[in-house]
Amino acid sequence: MPKNYRFLILDVFTDTPFSGNQLAVFTNATGMTSQQMQALAREINFSETTFVLPPQAGGDICMRIFSPEREFPFAGHPTLGTAFAIAGPLQSTLMRIETGMGIVPVLLEREGAKIVFGSMQQPIPTVRPFDAANELLAVLGVSASRLPVEVYSNGIDHIFVMFSSFAQVASLKPDLARLQAAAGDAGVNCFALEDGKVKTRMFFTDVATGEDAATGSAAGPLAVHLARHGLVEWGTEVVISQGAEIGRPSTLYARAEGSAQQITSVGVGGCAVVVAKGEFAV
């Protein structure tokens, strides 16, 4: 007999419904197989869907994350959105979420019973040069990046390319087939810095539209990237806008602590709002 599994749909990195990055959260996936999780993620077809399970390693919950194509050990907006979904009824202010990259704590701010903001401590990313930078720049239609083209990994690989202006970032129309050939499975983050704020677009073939509305897993490494290269001071909060070009404007807040020699913490925060709920018979 089929079993009914309840889910919530949230918009993440926004406090306004129908903007931000969409997320489906199955609030109790006990008994569900990996194959069923992947099938549900493909059926829902958001950039990611999460499945909440009992904790196994000292956290409050265990979370698995699937795109329509594969499972990820960590991702940003799924972690933040899942914390909002699960902590709301529990009145929790701290959620310790077990992921494939270890326990990720999410600190939640409340106004009465309502959660109004969440901030996660992300895995410290590794960094390396991107070997195919010239090929990638050619696909993007630019001759150079204002910073070295580098790859950061915190469970997902992210390549960062810096542009001269917000307008230049907004005008990008990459050929996604050529982009995937140049970047592989990594997300390509194209960003600019103006007046202390950042505009970014992230192109990723796991997403149905080819572009992500709000990429929490990239926001932390982006703050590290800017601090490592001296464009912001370590410990400075970076305000990041994303998603406007696909009609889902989002705002992310990121901060990197430490130094180029030793990164001590990476935090990413934002809002989320529940927009729907339902159940699947599996």
Active site residue 48: yes
Question: Which one is catalytic: 48, 98, 150, 211?
Answer: 48
Q: Which amino acid appears at position 192 of this protein?
A: A
| Long-range Cβ contact pairs of 54-58 (< 8 A, separation 24 or more) | 54/30, 55/98, 56/98, 57/98, 57/103, 58/96, 58/98, 58/103
For residue 122, the 8-state DSSP code is P
Query: Quick check: 258 and 224 in contact, CB under 8 A?
Result: no
**Cα end-to-end span (Å), the chain:** 9
One-letter amino acid for residue 21 of the chain = N
The SS3 call for residue 206 is: coil
Distance CA 24, CA 40 (A): 10
- Mutual orientation of helices 216-228 and 76-90 as an angle, nearest 10°? 120
Q: List residues with catalytic annotation.
A: 48
